[in-house]
């Protein structure tokens, strides 16, 4: 697939899952044997099902979430996605305090490898400290 096709797949995955809440698209766009090189939560299963549970958890904790694509770059079979995640903490999330309706904005970068029109591997760098500060779990550095 071309780099433009790969970018379109990543763009569609981000839009459908995070902005529209369409988790069914995961079956189409994420490989069964998906490898998450930075598992976001311990105990998630491997593969596509782990990706689905991770996305469901994020949408449960932040049901109004939106993911803004700040930049999208591709070369060969890799796509880099620089994003900002916005949402209101309205649902339970493991390891976080009970929802208090706090609005958050968190930035991150994903590097995804694609094959045959599906995401097969992901590396992540997310600003988890900023998230914890915004939710009041950690003091801010100010």
Say whether 70 sits in a helix, a strand or coil: strand
User: Does pLDDT of 69 surpass 80?
Assistant: yes
- For 11-60, the pLDDT digits (tens) are 999 999 999 999 999 999 999 999 999 866 778 899 999 999 999 999 99
pLDDT given for residue 1 in this prediction: 86
Q: Give the separation between CA 107 and CA 127, rounded to whole angstroms.
A: 6
- For 80-127, the pLDDT digits (tens) are 999 999 999 999 988 888 999 999 999 999 999 999 999 999 999 999
Instruction: Quote the tokens at residue 44.
Output: 């998630």
**Number of other residues whose CB lies within 10 A of the CB of residue 28:** 12
Q: Give the separation between CA 82 and CA 111, rounded to whole angstroms.
A: 9
The residues near 103 (Cβ < 8 Å, ≥ 6 apart) are 86, 87, 88, 89
pLDDT given for residue 39 in this prediction: 65
Domain ranges in the chain?
3-134
| pTM of the predicted model as reported, rounded to 2 decimal places | 0.93
Q: State the CATH class of domain 3-134.
A: alpha beta
pLDDT given for residue 110 in this prediction: 97
């Amino acid at each position: 697939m071309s780099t433009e096709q790969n970018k379109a797949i990543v763009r569609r995955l981000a839009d459908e899952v995070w902005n529209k809440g369409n988790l069914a698209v995961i079956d189409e766009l994420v490989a069964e044997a998906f490898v998450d090189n930075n598992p976001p939560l311990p105990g998630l299963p491997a593969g596509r099902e782990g990706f689905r549970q991770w996305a469901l958890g994020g949408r449960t904790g932040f049901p109004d979430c939106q993911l803004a694509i700040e930049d999208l770059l591709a070369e060969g079979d890799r796509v880099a996605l620089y994003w900002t995640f916005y949402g209101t903490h309205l649902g339970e999330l493991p390891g976080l305090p009970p929802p208090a309706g706090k609005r958050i904005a968190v930035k991150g970068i994903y590097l995804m490898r694609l094959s045959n029109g599906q995401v097969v591997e992901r590396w992540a760098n997310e600003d988890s400290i900023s998230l914890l500060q915004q939710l009041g779990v950690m003091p801010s550095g100010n």
